[in-house]
Structure 1
Amino acid sequence: MRTLLECYKILEEYPNGMTKDQFYRVARINKQHAKYLLDSGLVPCINTGKKTRKYHIATHDVITYLCDREDNPEKYKVPTGFYIGKSGCSKRHPDKPAAEIIRFNFTEPEKTGLYTLWEKLTVGYDDLLTTPVVSELTGYSAQSIQRWCNQKILVGFKIRGTLTIPRLAVVEFMSGDRATAIVRKSQRHLDLLRTYAQDCHEGAMTITY
């Protein structure tokens, strides 16, 4: 759940509103998703008509969206098939919905940047995390986290019967190749990688159907 402190920080950083690029980074979504939200009116904005800095979004509207998204995530999802035909992919027949396969291929410097990003995301958390906290951070179920620990994929150990995971172990795992290659990613993880890939080299993210 987004805290009051987080909202104040966003207001402090963007007192005069934000552009679409700033919005998608704050919301941790990709550019296409951000454009859909703005064009559809789900997130109010002013369309200036300019080629650059086309959208101006009031910061309080962004905060309203972020808070409401936590309670009503389905409301803000893009329509089925929204990404079909984008990123150079050919369109499919509407009666034949295609499964979207997203792959990420980061360079070594980009992997380092991803590690740094996860470090920043976990700043303020305890050095030892419980399963529910790791689940909140990553978007994956407690069962998945426990399975990774049992398989020795993720470092974890029990303290007084409670599974405990070092914060840096979460950072290392989530920024590593194993997590990046997960086929069925959590929506939170997928959104984060999509957003991060926007600032990486052109082939960092590929979408096939």
Structure 2
Amino acid sequence: MKYDAKEFKKYPEIMNKEQMRIACHISKQTALYLLQFNLIPHTCTGKKTRCYAIKKSDVIAFMNDREVNPEKYIAPKNWYKYGSEMVRPYKIRIHPPCAKDEKKLRGYYESKLAALPDVMDVAAAVDFTGYNRRTVCQWIRVGKLKALALLQKYMIPKCYLIDWLCSDDYNNTNRKSRRHIDMLWEAQKWNDMR
């Protein structure tokens, strides 16, 4: 469908996924594909629901480009299928390339963790990374993530968490959490404004 300026006046400057899909006349699955594969620029707010914030100008640019290059936005044939031959989204999701610039990645994580205390518990690390408690505790037990054991409780200094987040071992994890993937995409676009 072509871009209609009159129809877009009723939408806010920052749209959520549902508003974007209605404006573009696409299904929920197609909208999810376009956002997960970063075909429409967006920011992830970190919420569990309504986590996508999309600029109206980016949606308009997508609609105009879709008219010229429709094949660029076609989802793989197995994206919509269910059943035995379906490839689940986590298997066909495009993972961002591993960050080459460790200094930039470190700066990005320092800015994301600035509001958190200098020493945090496992629950805070779980909230930040998107992995479950068992996985984070396993990283600590095998020595991948350094932590302090205080009164039968692990406490993680922020500098140790940043070291782990920037490590190749963490970023080459096969089954990445959704938050991990979103942060890697975000880190590629991040510029230090200081």
User: Given the two structures, how large is their TM-score scaled by the length of structure 1?
Assistant: 0.52
Aligned equivalent of 2:168: 177
Q: Where has structure 1 moved over 6 Å in runs of 4 or more?
A: 85-90
The answer to whether the 8 A contact 1:128-1:166 is kept is yes
- Separation in structure 2 between the aligned mates of residue 159 and residue 118 of structure 1, nearest angstrom: 25
**Counterpart mapping for 1:56-71 below 5 A:** 69-70=47-48
- Separation in structure 1 between the aligned mates of residue 168 and residue 127 of structure 2, nearest angstrom: 21
Aligned equivalent of 2:92: 100
**Mapped pair 1:40 → 2:32:** no
Which structure has the higher relative contact order (CA within 8 Å, separation 6+)?
1
Percent of aligned positions with the same letter in both sequences? 14
**Counterpart mapping for 1:158-177 below 5 A:** 158-177=149-168
Distance change in 2, residues 1:89/1:39 (3 Å) = closer
- Separation in structure 2 between the aligned mates of residue 137 and residue 117 of structure 1, nearest angstrom: 13
Distance change in 2, residues 1:132/1:199 (3 Å) = closer
Q: Secondary structure at the match of 1:188?
A: helix
Distance change in 2, residues 1:161/1:188 (3 Å) = same
Unmatched segments (≥5 aa) in structure 1:
1-16, 21-33, 43-61, 78-84, 201-209
Distance change in 2, residues 1:107/1:167 (3 Å) = closer
The alignment yields a C-alpha RMSD, in angstroms, of: 3.8
The answer to whether the 8 A contact 1:103-1:181 is kept is no
**Could you tell me which of 88, 105, 123 is aligned with 2:114?**
123
Q: How many residue pairs align between the two structures?
A: 138
**Mapped pair 1:133 → 2:118:** no
Aligned equivalent of 2:29: none
Q: Secondary structure at the match of 2:140?
A: helix
**Counterpart mapping for 1:186-201 below 5 A:** 186-197=177-188
User: Given the two structures, how large is their TM-score scaled by the length of structure 2?
Assistant: 0.56
- Separation in structure 2 between the aligned mates of residue 88 and residue 195 of structure 1, nearest angstrom: 21
Unmatched segments (≥5 aa) in structure 2:
1-11, 24-42, 53-69
The answer to whether the 8 A contact 1:149-1:156 is kept is yes
